Chains A and B, each alone.
Chain A
């Protein structure tokens, strides 16, 4: 992940996008893929480039679940919220993860070492119930497995 960008770097990053062409989401993806999240400065840069207001850009960023307004945590556990996982005990796994990490879904630790994310079903239901740790599937979990996993993540530097 790159270091904190300057305003000029952000403006340069989105310089190719144009107003009125459906470029808002692509510009925001570009920012997030480069820096991991969309900062207040990035919102200003995108708004300026696309001839719109920071309010509209902010409204868009916060409407979508997968745009982030803060740095992603070092380790992120994404809990699968899909129905097959639910039927296989996923809700009990959510309770266990939230209570072990002492975070709600969408939360991250104060030092941003770890966070808990609500993941959507992608149709790997043969692995249910599952979570993703930094994108990698951990499937066929028991609740106890999930607690041990969360404790490891919490204890890791």
Chain B
């Protein structure tokens, strides 16, 4: 180990040990975008306020996400003696006073909010966190420090094996590092699964100088927040991963392209890089080795297509973020037309773990062809929106039942979207599919970056397709006619079907677009129709119902449904009239009716007067004689 690095690590360990030996109760609050959305900053303010008022001598710290996103704010309380740590959930600001009274002043537990004992002995009321059903089957390696360390403090990272992998890499030559990563079997984590070691080797053997690394942190797939959890929770893992890749590929500089929508992730990455510079881990002559590497944290500006690697490169290069025509590939001509390697956040973040543990031990975690662990986030029609880390291979059904808490209501799950708007739709018949790459590929789908969205019977497949196609239309860069015009055309056809104008040939028309759009230049156009292509097969009957019977079984499509007043005299009707944003709920002499021409199908009236106002399927609802008939 490089002596200077060893000294830095030793200092980090000492600094961490000092925080743990304060002799005070230590409260560590999860502080990330998810917990902030659920009030973590108000909780922190309340803790400070109560502690000041009651003269409580406590240490207050922040940490990354445990993954219990649906139960934020979470926090741990560690006893003054440092022998016991308990994790609590849903500690909202209103609960803080009571909570601190019980846990700090009285020194007891608060079993009602406890998730488990992190350190120390379980009690009859609070089991070990490791025994929590939600933790079973998870292997937390990337997420190991989340919940423990302060993401804004490099010493905490150093005290937990941080930069140890980099230290090992410093003693290896470039080829040996590439070999270690190749041997591990690490595949690209954005969904393609291409061996990271081979990509690094392309860059290593490139002839031009300088060479660049790019970390794609433009996590634009709606419903995916895996990279955000990592950047907000353990940013040094990514910095160290890029340093190792730089040694392997002889790269001089690296860019981390963080999407505009992730300001906290941007700040934490910037802070991590600043700290690494201050410790001499980045910059010129790193730790006296003569090696140099710079990292620039780059802020995007809101464009999904910049997640495509050449769009991203153009965006850094000071152009509109329009994907380039390949070849040349980035490994030959990327940033400023120099050799460039682009990897996803999670791909780089695995490198320190591989170097730290060795390839064999890193990949031993699962029997699947895809090596290592994968982080996933789940959302949609489930009880628990969360973030987990598991070895590749569990069945989607099991994951949905165990980690997501099952369907959000009595309605059964109808299907799911495996990873982003270009990834397709899967029918619930196929819930036993495993979370590995091949089964998705075989079905023409794509297991993307890890954001899985479940939907239930209340979702209309035609509407959900229109949602994804509208997204693809909005986010098309506009270069290829196939993509720009194709997405527009698809949205047009879908809108017509949704408004009751479906007719013969619509399915063939959409299938034509599927064939046509694959000639687009980049993934965006090539895969924009995946949702429709897969949904036409997996949910065929529903399309026929829409087009031929003008029926939407989920009662979502605006032209196929109608709101009607079915019961006069309901006390809630005046409120329903008042809430309508378009004045469509009319009242004449105490009788109410809805003017269908004015109604925008927002459903606010029915929320307020559920027993008086009905949502009807137009294909079967009795036709009104005249508007006056209902109005009296």
Chain B contacts with A in 585-612, Cβ cutoff 8 A: 600-604, 607-608
* Interface assignment of B579: CB less than 8 Å from any CB of chain A: yes
Q: Is the CB of A126 within 8 A of B302?
A: no
Is A25 a contact of B315 with CB atoms below 8 Å?
Answer: yes
Instruction: Tell me whether A87 and B453 are in contact in the complex, defined as CB-CB below 8 angstroms, given that A29-B299, A60-B318, A126-B385 are known contacts.
Output: yes
- Please judge, given known A-B contacts A64-B302, A125-B379, whether A100 and B581 are in contact too, CB under 8 Å: yes
How far does the alpha carbon of A50 sit from the alpha carbon of B33 in the complex, in Å?
35
**B-chain residues with CB within 8 Å of residue A143 when the two chains form the complex:** 602-604, 607
Say yes or no: B298 contacts A95, CB within 8 Å: no
Q: Does A91 count as interface, using CB distance less than 8 angstroms?
A: yes
> Is B70 at the interface (CB under 8 A from chain A)?
yes
Contact status of A91 and B467, CB under 8 A, knowing A22-B298, A60-B319: yes
A96, CB-defined interface residue at 8 Å: yes
Q: Are B303 and A63 in contact (CB under 8 A)?
A: yes
- Cβ-defined partner of A83 (8 Å) among B222, B315, B607: B222
* Cβ of B301 under 8 Å from chain A: yes
**Which B residue sits closest to A93, measured CB to CB?**
B602
B369 within 8 A of A: no
A137 to B296, CA, bound (A): 30
Assess whether A144 is in contact with B467, with CB atoms less than 8 Å apart.
Answer: no
Residues 550-582 of chain B, each 1 if its beta carbon lies under 8 Å from chain A, else 0: 000000000000000000000000000001011
Residue from A84, A93, A100, A126 within 8 A of B223 (CB atoms): A84
Q: Is the CB of B299 within 8 A of A25?
A: yes
Report if A92 contacts B (CB, 8 A): yes
Q: Which residues of B contact A92 (CB under 8 A)?
A: 601-604
> Are A147 and B604 closer than 8 Å at their CB atoms?
yes
Contact of B302 among A65, A91, A99, A139 (CB under 8 A): A65
Within 8 A of B (CB), among A63-106: 63-67, 81-84, 86-87, 89, 91-93, 95-96, 99-100
- Quote the shortest CB–CB distance from A12 to chain B (angstroms): 21
For A65, the chain B residues whose CB sits under 8 A away are: 301-303
**B residues in contact with A25, CB < 8 Å:** 298-301, 315-316, 318
Q: Which of A2-10, A107-115, A116-124 contacts B (4 or more CB under 8 A)?
A: A116-124
CB distance from B263 to the nearest CB of A (A): 9
Instruction: Give every chain A residue within 8 A of B225 (Cβ-Cβ).
Output: 122-125
- Whether A122 pairs with B607 at a CB distance below 8 angstroms is no
Query: B262 in the interface, Cβ–Cβ < 8 Å?
Result: yes
Q: Mark B428-457, 1 if CB is under 8 A from A, else 0.
A: 000000000000000000000001010110
Minimal Cβ-Cβ distance residue in A for B451? A123
Chain B residues within 8 Å of chain A by Cβ, number: 64
* B-chain residues with CB within 8 Å of residue A124 when the two chains form the complex: 33-34, 37-38, 69, 225
Chain A residues with CB under 8 A of B601: 92, 95
Nearest residue (CB) in B for A65 is B302
Taking CB as reference atom, which chain B residue is nearest A57?
B318
Which of B33, B220, B299, B467 is in CB contact (< 8 Å) with A120? Answer: B220
A60 touches B320 (CB 8 A): yes
Interface membership of A23, Cβ < 8 A: yes
**Which single member of A23, A66, A100, A147 contacts B318 (CB below 8 Å)?**
A23
Contact A24 B318 (CB under 8 A): yes
A126 touches B316 (CB 8 A): no
**Of A26, A63, A123, A144, which one neighbours B321 at CB under 8 angstroms?**
A63
In the complex, are the beta carbons of A66 and B298 less than 8 A apart? no
A126:B320 contact, CB within 8 angstroms: no
Are A66 and B260 closer than 8 Å at their CB atoms?
A: yes
Asked whether A128 is an interface residue with its Cβ less than 8 Å from the other chain, the reply is yes
B232 CB → nearest A CB, Å: 10
CB distance from A92 to the nearest CB of B (A): 5
Which chain B residue shows the least CB distance to A99?
B581
A44 smallest CB distance to B (angstroms): 16
- Bound: A125/B467 CA distance, A: 17
The answer to whether A83 and B602 touch (CB under 8 A), given A65-B302, A120-B222, is no
Report the bound CA distance from A122 to B302 in whole Å.
Answer: 12
Chain A residues whose CB sits within 8 angstroms of the CB of B261 once the complex forms: 66, 119-120, 122
Nearest CB in chain A to that of B386: its residue: A126
Is there a chain A Cβ closer than 8 Å to B523's Cβ? no
B249 to chain A, nearest CB (A): 20
Q: Which of A29, A63, A81, A148 contacts B222 (CB 8 A)?
A: A81
- List B residues 452-476 near A (Cβ within 8 Å): 453, 455-456, 458-459, 463-464, 467, 471
Within 8 A of A (CB), among B178-205: none
Q: Is A14 an interface residue (CB 8 A)?
A: no
- The distance in angstroms between the C-alpha atoms of A75 and B326, with both chains bound, is 44
What is the CB-to-nearest-CB distance from B594 to chain A, in angstroms, rounded to a whole number? 14
Chain A contacts for B608, CB-based, 8 A: 144
| Contact pattern, A 31-70, Cβ under 8 Å of B = 1, otherwise 0 | 0000000000000000000101000100110011111000
Chain A residues contacting B74 (CB-CB under 8 Å) are none
Q: At the interface, yes or no: B317 with Cβ under 8 Å from chain A? A: yes
Residues of B within 8 A of A28 (CB): 301
Please determine whether B302 and A121 come into contact, CB atoms closer than 8 angstroms: no
CB distance from A6 to the nearest CB of B (A): 25
- Provide the bound-state CA to CA distance between A82 and B222, in Å: 5
B5 on the interface (CB 8 Å rule)?
no
B381 within 8 A of A: yes
Given the complex of chains A and B, what is the CA–CA distance between A142 and B609 in angstroms?
A: 13
Cβ–Cβ < 8 Å partners of A93 in chain B: 602
Which residues of chain B are near A95, meaning CB under 8 Å? 581, 600-602
> A22 CA to B255 CA in the complex, in Å?
10
| B76 interface contact, C-beta 8 A | no
- Could you jot down 14 A-B contacts, CB within 8 Å? A22-B298, A65-B301, A66-B260, A66-B301, A82-B222, A84-B379, A87-B453, A123-B229, A123-B377, A123-B451, A127-B37, A142-B604, A143-B603, A150-B581
List 6 other contacts, CB 8 Å, given A84-B380, A123-B224.
Answer: A22-B317, A87-B456, A119-B261, A120-B261, A122-B225, A137-B37
For the complex of A and B, the 7 pairs showing the least CB-CB separation, nearest first, are: A123-B225, A66-B302, A125-B379, A64-B301, A65-B302, A24-B318, A121-B222
Q: Report A's interface with B, CB cutoff 8 A.
A: 20, 22-26, 28-29, 50, 52, 56, 59-60, 63-67, 81-84, 86-87, 89, 91-93, 95-96, 99-100, 119-128, 130, 137, 139, 142-144, 147-148, 150
